[in-house]
Amino acid sequence: METTIQIKKHSKFAGDKDLEKLSREELIQKIQVLQAHNLQLQNILAKGKPTVKLEERKFHKPFDFSKCNFRHILLRILYLGWDYQGFTVQEDTTNTIEYHLFEALIKTCLIQNRESSNYHRSGRTDKGVSSFGQVVSIKVRSRLSKGDENNLDNEIDYCKILNRVLPVNIQCIAWSATDQSFSSRFDCKSRTYKYYFPKGNLDIEKMRIACKDFVGTHDFRNFCKMDVGNGVIKFVRNVLDFRIEPFINTDSEDEYSLYVAIISGNAFLWHQIRYMMGILFLIGGDKESFSLVKELLDVEQNPSKPEYTMANEVPLNLFLCEYDSIHWIYKENNLKCIIEKLNRTWLFHTIKGNMVKDMISNLNDYFPKESPQNLSQHLLSGVKVKKYIPVLKRQRCDSLETKIKHYSKRNRIEIIQN
C-alpha cells in the first residue's frame, strides 16, 4: 500500500470559528507574526516610494497590448547570486533574481503582467547561489505577425533590451523560440551544478571514490532538507554523473588550487548538493571513511539523517539545463557586452583575492607554517568542536514518518492510503 499526502490549503483569512479554537498564547503569537509581517511590508513600500516632485513626473500613455502579437520563448539567464535572497520572488523582500527579471520584462513592455505570461522556471536556487544556465519559459510580445514567426532575424532582440535594464550581475545570454506548451521546468531533461572549492589538505582521490557512490537512483533523504510541510515525501532521485576535476589544468598545484565538483541529475532535492558536498569535505579531510556515502544512502539501516553541516551556498552554480530540440539564439554583440561586465567583476574579485593571499603569505613568514591548511572547513558552518564526533554517532533528525505525523497533527497535510 502506497502512502501519499495532500497539502491542505487554508484561507489566508481565518474565520471567527477558527480564531475561537486558538488558545491565548496562539492568538498572541499570531498577532506578533502579523505585526512583524506588516512592518516588513511597510519598509518595502517605503523603499519603493518615488521622491520625484509632482511637476517632474512624466506621464506616459499606457502600452496597448491588445494590438500586439505574442510568442512563447525560452530565456537563458546568468546571475551572480551572492548578494541576492535567492531566485524566487518573496513577499518580504525585493532582493531576488526573479523580482528584477519581472521588473525588466514589464519595464520593456515584453509582458503585461506575470499572471498572463505562462511563466515557468527550470529550477529555484537558494540565497547566495548563482547560475550560468537558469532557463525560464514565458509568453512575450513579438513584432512578427502570425505566419511569419520563423523569420527570427527580424524578431525583437530580447536579450539586448532586457540587459539594458537588468542589473549587471543578472543578464540574459540567449533565447529560443518554442511551442506554447513547452515548460522550462517540466521539459528539462537534466540539470548540471558546479561546486568550486580549494584543495587545501583534502584527499581529492578519496573524495572521487566516494562521490561515485552518489551516481544512480537512490533515496537521498539523508542528503537534503526534508520539505514534508509542502508535500514532499518521496526522496528518490537519479544522479546521472558526479565527478571532481581541477578547475584549471596545471602542473603546479598547491593548497590554493581550485577544484570543481560537477553534478548532473534529472532533478534535485532541497539543499541536496550542499549536503552531499558537506559529507565529501569530511571524507576528503580524513574525518570519515568514503564508505559513509553508501551507509547514509541505506535508508533501512539509517532511516533518519544524522546532524551534520551542509556546505556553503556561495560556491554553488546551476550551470546547465538541457532540453531536447532547442535552438538557442546568441548575438555576438550581446555576448561581448556580458563578457565585458563579467571581466570587470572578475578583475576586482581577483585583485581582492590576491591581496588577501599576499597578506597571508607575509604572515606565514613569522612562524613555521602548517602545511597544507584545512581551507574547506570555512565552507562548513556551525561550531567547531574540539573532539570530532563521527557522523553516524551523532544525534539524529526526525524520521520521515515522524515528520508526516507532525504536519498531519498540525492540520498542514492529509495522509492518503492508495
pLDDT digits (tens, 9 = 90+) for 201-257: 999 999 999 999 999 999 999 999 988 877 788 999 999 999 999 998 665 678 899
Joined grid coordinates for residue 393: 554517532
Whole-number pLDDT of residue 386: 84
Three cell numbers, residue 9 = 490549503
Beta bridge partners of 329: 175
Confidence of residue 54 (pLDDT cuts 50, 70, 90): very low
Query: C-alpha cell of 42?
Result: 511597510
Q: CB 298: neighbour CB atoms within 10 A? A: 13
Which residues make beta-bridge pairs with 7?
A: 413
pLDDT value at 25 more than 90: no
Does 3.30.70.660 match the CATH number of domain 190-321+388-417?
A: yes
Cell numbers found for residue 370: 602548517
Confidence at residue 248, expressed as pLDDT on a 0 to 100 scale: 81
Collect all residues with Cβ–Cβ distance below 8 Å to 166 and sequence separation of at least 6: 100, 101, 104, 172
Show which residues are catalytic: 126
Q: What is the pLDDT of residues 360-405, one digit of tens each?
A: 989 988 887 777 888 999 999 877 788 999 999 999 998 888 888 8
The residues spanned by each domain of the chain are 67-177, 190-321+388-417
The span from the CA of 262 to the CA of 285, in Å, is 19
Taking each continuous run of H as one helix and of E as one strand, the counts in the chain are: 9, 11
Mean confidence (pLDDT) of the chain: 88
Beta bridge partners of 264: 192, 241
What average pLDDT score do residues 345-349 get?
Answer: 97
Dihedral sign for Cα 136, 140, 144, 149, please: positive
- Express each pLDDT in 97-113 by its tens digit: 999 999 999 999 999 99
User: According to the model, what pLDDT value does residue 160 have?
Assistant: 96
Same fold, 67-177 and 190-321+388-417: yes
CB atoms near residue 373 (< 10 Å): 16
The domain defined by 67-177 carries CATH number 3.30.70.580 = yes
